[in-house]
Structure 1
Amino acid sequence: MPDPGITDRSAPALRTNAPSAARAWAVVAMITLLMAINFAEKSVLGLAADPIMKELHLDASEFGLLASSFYLLFSLSAVLVGFLANRVRAKWILGILAVAWSLTALPVFLAGSLAMLFASRITLGAAEGPTAPVAVHAVHKWFPDRRRAMPTAVTQAGAVLGTVIAVPVLSWFILHHGWRSAWLVLAASCLVWAAGWLVVGQEGPLTDQAGPAADAAPDAPRYRPVLLSGSWLGMLVCAFGVYWAVAANLAWVPTYLTKAGGYDPATAGRLAALPSALGTLAMLVLPWLSGRWMRRGATSRCARGIPAGLLAIVSGCCLLAVSAVPAGPLRLVLLSLAFGLPVAGVPLMYLVNAEISPVRLRGATSGLCVGIVTFGGMFAPVALGRQLDAAATPAAGYQAGFALTAALLIVGGIVAVIAVNPERDARRTGTRT
């Protein structure tokens, strides 16, 4: 008998057998672990910033360029593999990507020079670029639209939870065994996950959408109505600001806490996990509320688009206030809100994309969105690094960098609130009648 938590009785006859609840949530659990490792990989360079800069004699601009190099092939890879995900099983794509992550640690072990670090971060970015969109695409094959909010939130919360766990653990390894040891821990974690995925991973059965509009032209889904819709473009602009903030946080907040906050490296490593801890909580609560609102009759615009935009606006305002208050608990609270809250809107953005994209296009539209917004990740670390080098004091440099980040968050949030209307755009793209 179909599990009531998985099947969606409001949808008219999905052309598939109902999936197993146990298998569906096992896949969610594995992908959540993958996303945790994913963000630990992103965080490790920022945690090792001070010893790397001292050993390799780097200034802030040079380190910012190293941090930005992660995104050099990230966007291109996200787009290309996103299109591939329309034709190849997500199970195999995710397994291959995890093994590739572990291999990117080899340059660090072989030499650990600046050139090898660049090689490691660039290849890691290429391997990680497609992970989030392919992972969400895989999860959505197990849950119909009105049941996707919580599993999507759980997998994305794994990303920030990975930072919460990784920051103290990797900081300990860096302090006691040298910064290269953190890369060894992450490489081993990738291989263990890949072995488990071979056993647990399975393709979800929800591979088609229901309704007359979907049946009208099953062999000719079109990209243009999706990519030119207000919902897709609005979420794109909002997500750009969010990803800029995420990259700035991962690259520079640990050193901000030491140089502008006055904390020792061990304490700064623990405090740097606060935004991710708050983001994990918000990422679980908001999509859960969103799902409840929709089941009670709220529109997707009110339950998904507007909340995601408001989160970005509030986060930008908090970030502007960080430099206006003295160092202490209040500043830490504002910093945590500024960098923690916007990530809670990420699951809602994926849900909007899934709602307006035909299934056979969803891997590509999601990958294309990620590929574009992660240009923010490419520019944010180096932009903030240059502002630090140009400023009279570290505090002034961080203030300028935070102001730019806040502006991008606020503008993106406003655009999302105005433009995102999934019900309207789903009718235009044929995913809803």
Structure 2
Amino acid sequence: MTSTPKYSWIILLFLVLSGMINQVDKIIIGLVSVPLMKELHLSPTQWGVVGSSFFWFFTFSSIILGGMADSKNTKKMLTWMSLIWMIVQFFTPFVSSLSMLLLTRMILGAGEGPAPALSTAIMGKWFPKHRHGIGFGAVLLGTTGGSAIASPLLISLIDHYGWRSAFIAMGILGLIVLVLWMIFGKESPQEIGCPSIQHKEQPSSSLSKVSWSQFLPHLISKNFILIVLCGGCAYWLLSVQAVWLPAYFTKIQHFNGQTLKLAVSLPFLFAAFFQLGFAILSDRLYRKTGDIRKARINLAGITMMLSALCLYLANAVNSSAMSILFFTLAPGFA
């Protein structure tokens, strides 16, 4: 099997950090939901629009800009995307109306849409196929593990210094990571004198440009449709978790202090362990069977069904403690 360049792990560290910032930038709006809704006099319906506005341009930028990751300079793309995230965080504390808040969420969504595709493209340049599972698992560990760590810290900041402090803190963190990425980030292994991962694993003929007539059949394949459905369900759950659960725990369950911090951070903590664990399992299945369907597709389908079961039980049980438990497990499987 193809060896992994040592510098790949440095690139992976930056992908983990950017994934963490990307995810926390998404969920921070939920952490400030109660004081922000109060200050701007927003109804629950208006808050729902705020939550969904993030995805209005997210979807289009995911397809359009995400597709560019295969042919453009990925280091530059990640640099520009990180710059957008950082600017939005520094600008959001100055919003004073619903329209301004919607604008910041739409811009952030457009800037974050290509992130998964970009991470995939960078991973493909630096890691051989048999390492993709652990690589993606580490990035997802950054997104969920980072959120588990950041949530209680940001809640404390909000309690002591107001909701604006959370955005400023994330803006500063984003600036630090962006500067380090510009210094240490590399476009491909060739920049450090290592051979291309893609050239080792694929014949040169397969690297030629693929026509739409060749590409379109894959869009209706069972594997692709399943992954799209899984991704849609996972993001639906993420949006509910990010936008509504902090307000639900605060206003309905009347959690505060440590209880609120645990209720918000535990789903991300469990998800972090689940993602890394299932990524390792997926890689082992791939090395053992060589079957991409069994290792990636089937496993993803099983975990999504477990997530759906947890969501059903979370709404069906009468116990608040059991409901929170299943709400905690569902994102981990998703």
- Pair in the same fold by TM > 0.5: yes
Q: Which residue of 2 aligns with 1:258?
A: 250
What CA distance in whole angstroms lies between the structure 1 residues aligned with 2:64 and 2:149? 31
Deviates more, 1:108-117 or 1:40-49: 108-117
Shift of 1:106: 4.3
Percent identical among aligned pairs is 28
Instruction: Kindly indicate whether residue 103 of structure 2 is the aligned counterpart of residue 112 of structure 1.
Output: no
Shift of 1:278: 0.6
Work out which of the residue numbers 165, 172, 175 in structure 2 matches 1:191. 175
Instruction: Kindly indicate whether residue 197 of structure 2 is the aligned counterpart of residue 206 of structure 1.
Output: yes
What CA distance in whole angstroms lies between the structure 1 residues aligned with 2:200 and 2:115? 23
Q: Which residue of 2 aligns with 1:294?
A: 286
Change (3 A) 1:324 1:202: same
What CA distance in whole angstroms lies between the structure 1 residues aligned with 2:206 and 2:89? 49
Shift of 1:206: 2.4
Q: Residue deviations 1:135-171, cap 9 Å, x none?
A: 1210121112122111111012211112101211111
Q: Which has the higher helix share?
A: 2
The unaligned stretches of length 5 or more in structure 2 are 189-195
1:30-429 superposed matches below 5 A: 30-204=14-188, 205-208=196-199, 210=201, 215=205, 218-221=208-211, 222-264=214-256, 267-297=259-289, 299-342=291-334
Q: Which residue of 2 aligns with 1:20?
A: 5
Change (3 A) 1:328 1:234: closer
What CA distance in whole angstroms lies between the structure 2 residues aligned with 1:84 and 1:195? 23
What CA distance in whole angstroms lies between the structure 1 residues aligned with 2:59 and 2:206? 33
Q: CA contact under 8 A between 2:137 and 2:276: conserved in structure 1?
A: yes
Q: Which residue of 1 aligns with 2:191?
A: none
Q: Structure 1 counterpart of 2:49, which letter?
A: L
* Aligned-residue CA RMSD (Å): 2.0
Q: Secondary structure at the match of 1:83?
A: helix
Q: Secondary structure at the match of 2:289?
A: coil
Q: CA contact under 8 A between 1:102 and 1:187: conserved in structure 2?
A: yes
Q: Residue deviations 1:240-262, cap 9 Å, x none?
A: 11111111111111122233333
Shift of 1:281: 0.2
What CA distance in whole angstroms lies between the structure 2 residues aligned with 1:208 and 1:80? 26
The unaligned stretches of length 5 or more in structure 1 are 1-7, 10-17, 343-433
Change (3 A) 1:256 1:207: same
Change (3 A) 1:241 1:184: same
Shift of 1:121: 1.1
Q: Structure 1 counterpart of 2:163, which letter?
A: W
What CA distance in whole angstroms lies between the structure 1 residues aligned with 2:247 and 2:100? 23
Shift of 1:298: 5.5
Count of paired positions: 325
Q: CA contact under 8 A between 2:250 and 2:260: conserved in structure 1?
A: yes
Change (3 A) 1:217 1:75: closer
Q: Structure 2 counterpart of 1:251, which letter?
A: V
Q: Secondary structure at the match of 1:321?
A: helix
Change (3 A) 1:196 1:261: same
What CA distance in whole angstroms lies between the structure 1 residues aligned with 2:113 and 2:297? 24
Q: Residue deviations 1:291-350, cap 9 Å, x none?
A: 1122122522222111111111111111111133234432222111122221xxxxxxxx
Q: TM-score, normalised by structure 1?
A: 0.71
